[in-house]
Structure 1
Amino acid sequence: MEQLLFESRDLGRTEEFLNRAYTKMQIGGVPKEVRTRVSRAAAESISIDRIEIGFEMSYDADPLGKICLCEVTSGTIEDHATDGWQDDFGTGDLAYFAPSDRPYKGKVCRSTYTITMFDPALLTRVVGAGRKGNTPVRLLHHRPHSPAAARHLSRTIAYLGDEVLANPAVQASPLLLASVTQLLASSVLAAFPNTAMTDRDDLAGRDARPTTVRRALAFMESNLDQAIGVAEIATAAGVTVRAVQTAFQRHLGTTPLNHLRQLRLAEVRAELQAADPSESTVADVAARWGFHHHGRMAAAYQELYGELPSTTLAR
């Protein structure tokens, strides 16, 4: 878990920090007053930075090596250009700021904004194999496909930055880290047009058979304590992600990840039933099985078993 806080009123120190924290860049302009504040929460290959630039600053930066999203909360970012396009961003705008392998430039005008960065491989990992040529998944446009999609992604980023990445328990649990990265990558793919959306899998219907479900279930039940997602489940079943999703919907009326969640809730219940209330807590047990949002876990548990997990532990 990485926590970082930088504050400065010196232009040279600010430029040195930005070069060290992001990528090699040059800051243009000679402002009369400099005010910079950056706070970071990070885990694994994800970082979420809240940034305040209290002056007008132009920038010319090398590629970041990561996917970069930017959400403006005040002020403006103007003349931002990368990968053959240019745009301006104001309060409330959320954008795919720069591809991982492209330089970018623009101007920050007394702005506060959130920068979210992550490994591009996360997108491909969530989608899994079975695309044409097995090529990496790419985002196709720098703005979300709808305001509703942008709002959903914004809420996800805020939740991860405010509650999840600041929680020390996340770093201690591989399952929690996996669920966090999957949540962010899935939310990004749902918000932005991408190459995975344009792929067509004609074999999905043919492969959505009961044998696909059986192979997937066997893999899931043998790896409940491992950081697996729908891509790994599909690979183990020998089909594409679309095929395994179709098979679960057709034969079980649910999704692979929902079923995986139910299997892990069963493990939580078994552990709570065997635990000593004076030595264990619901939060600790839930974290061991990959549940980072206690309220949602408790609601799902109650819906499945008719009681709260705290009641199971107490009894």
Structure 2
Amino acid sequence: MADPLIEAFGEDEPSTPATVRFEVTGHRPDDAVRDLGGVYGGERWVAQPTGEAFEYRYTALGDAEVTIRRSQLRGVLSGLVAAGGDYVVTWMSTGSAEVQRLGDRRELPLETPVLIPPDHPFSFRTEDYDQRLVHFDRAFLHRVAAARSDVGEHALRFDDHRVADQEGARRWHGAMTALARALRVGGPESVAWQAAKTAAAEVFLDLFPPQLDDLPVVLGQPRNARLRAAVEYIHDHASEPVTIADLSEVSGLSVRSVQESFRRVFDVSPLTYLRQVRLDRVRAELLDADPQAGAVGDVARRWGFAHLGRFSAAYAERFGEYPKQTLRR
């Protein structure tokens, strides 16, 4: 959920995150689509009244690393949001909202923090709502995660289906109260704000722990240090085009040595190892998807499988069942 408006705010020094402060408001559905869709890079957004006079208001305060936001709308708003951008946690104060990803439709509960799907496109529908949101810049959240656990340079993955329990929701709202107070009293350049946003990020990481792949134990051996770099690159970039030349560059091994190392340790080629990781990611998503959605093709393509027939055969060979059977579980 990229935020193109951030660049327009503040003339801070390079070492200080740019201040974010903006508001959009209006009474026309077309203006709501333009303004709110512009914030989130929306596609095919539609707004319409629900009988009463249509109106909307959206405010954001903070800096380029963390912003507190409030979105209010009297009417209906729906559309598509692309993957990527900030990590966004939202909670509804009033009204209704639902998010659909891979055919799985979820209604957002009131006063409960929910992670908006960060790495997959999704659709949404909201009606007559008052919604609070907090945006975390990805690089900032990664720095906080790296300071408290061994995540290294790995890309972070989160389970957006995870639901906070009562104690987790209490901690989240406490962190949000402290965040708002620091912003109100000291502003986004204050020490209090810097401390409060780090504390909020830590609560985020407690509620939505990063998911890291368990790498084979053999990679911990000193002789496999360079191979480990290549394997970590595959796990971090499995949804992207990956070549043996890429693995050679990140590991410091020659192309031939990369191939020989994978054969020696895993008895497969580097690209076969990549395919196995991708198949594992597809399976994890299918187990989490709505069986009625028919999402197999979309999931497979997102993980780099362009030919669905060959994908289905490879999937069955690895897991002993076809992807549609996994989806129906």
**Structure 2 length normalisation: TM-score?**
0.52
Q: Which whole-Å deviations, capped at 9, do the CAs of 1:36-80 have from their partners, x for residues lacking one? A: 0112212231111111111122221223511011100011102x1
| In 1: Cα distance, 2:112 partner to 2:164 partner | 12
- 1:184 match: secondary structure: helix
| In 2: Cα distance, 1:92 partner to 1:115 partner | 11
Q: Which whole-Å deviations, capped at 9, do the CAs of 1:67-98 have from their partners, x for residues lacking one? A: 011100011102x1236643111322320012
| In 1: Cα distance, 2:26 partner to 2:137 partner | 28
Q: Which whole-Å deviations, capped at 9, do the CAs of 1:151-176 have from their partners, x for residues lacking one? A: 2112212331x322234x44334x44
The correspondence for 2:204, drawn from 179, 188, 195, is 188
Pick 1 or 2: higher relative contact order, CA cutoff 8 A, min separation 6: 1
Matches within 5 A, 1:140-155: 140-155=159-174
Q: Which residue of 1 aligns with 2:223?
A: none
Pair 1:81-2:110 in alignment:
no
Report if the CA contact (8 A) 1:42-1:48 is conserved: yes
Q: Which residue of 1 aligns with 2:91?
A: 71
Q: Which whole-Å deviations, capped at 9, do the CAs of 1:207-235 have from their partners, x for residues lacking one? A: xxxxxxxxxxxxxxxxxxxxxxxxxxxxx
Root-mean-square deviation (Å): 3.0
- Judged with a 3 Å threshold, the aligned counterparts in structure 2 of structure 1 residues 193 and 133 are, in CA distance, closer, same or farther, namely closer
Q: How many residues align?
A: 196
Report if the CA contact (8 A) 1:72-1:90 is conserved: yes
Report if the CA contact (8 A) 1:142-1:192 is conserved: no
Report if the CA contact (8 A) 1:69-1:115 is conserved: yes
- Judged with a 3 Å threshold, the aligned counterparts in structure 2 of structure 1 residues 51 and 151 are, in CA distance, closer, same or farther, namely same
TM-aligned CA deviation for residue 25 of structure 1 = 3.1
Pair 1:24-2:42 in alignment:
yes
- 2:97 match: secondary structure: strand
Matches within 5 A, 1:40-119: 40-78=60-98, 80-82=99-101, 85-99=104-118, 101-119=119-137
| In 2: Cα distance, 1:180 partner to 1:52 partner | 25
Gaps of 5+ in 1: 202-315
| In 1: Cα distance, 2:92 partner to 2:213 partner | 27
| In 2: Cα distance, 1:192 partner to 1:48 partner | 18
Gaps of 5+ in 2: 1-18, 218-329
The correspondence for 1:13, drawn from 8, 31, 35, is 31
| In 2: Cα distance, 1:187 partner to 1:158 partner | 13
TM-aligned CA deviation for residue 8 of structure 1 = 0.9
| In 2: Cα distance, 1:64 partner to 1:165 partner | 26
TM-aligned CA deviation for residue 197 of structure 1 = 11
Matches within 5 A, 1:294-313: none
- 2:128 match: secondary structure: strand
The correspondence for 2:150, drawn from 110, 131, 140, is 131
- What is the letter of the counterpart of residue 63 of structure 2? A
- What is the letter of the counterpart of residue 86 of structure 1? R
- 1:139 match: secondary structure: coil
Q: Which whole-Å deviations, capped at 9, do the CAs of 1:129-171 have from their partners, x for residues lacking one? A: 77367413332243334221122112212331x322234x443
- 2:184 match: secondary structure: coil
Report if the CA contact (8 A) 2:182-2:192 is conserved: no
| In 2: Cα distance, 1:166 partner to 1:8 partner | 25
Q: Which residue of 2 aligns with 1:156?
A: 175
- Judged with a 3 Å threshold, the aligned counterparts in structure 2 of structure 1 residues 123 and 20 are, in CA distance, closer, same or farther, namely same
**Structure 1 length normalisation: TM-score?**
0.55
- What is the letter of the counterpart of residue 114 of structure 1? R
- What is the letter of the counterpart of residue 113 of structure 1? Q
Q: Which whole-Å deviations, capped at 9, do the CAs of 1:257-280 have from their partners, x for residues lacking one? A: xxxxxxxxxxxxxxxxxxxxxxxx
Which shows bigger deviation, 68-77 or 145-154? 145-154
Equivalent pairs: percent with the same residue? 17
- Judged with a 3 Å threshold, the aligned counterparts in structure 2 of structure 1 residues 198 and 42 are, in CA distance, closer, same or farther, namely farther
| In 2: Cα distance, 1:166 partner to 1:64 partner | 29
Report if the CA contact (8 A) 2:69-2:132 is conserved: yes
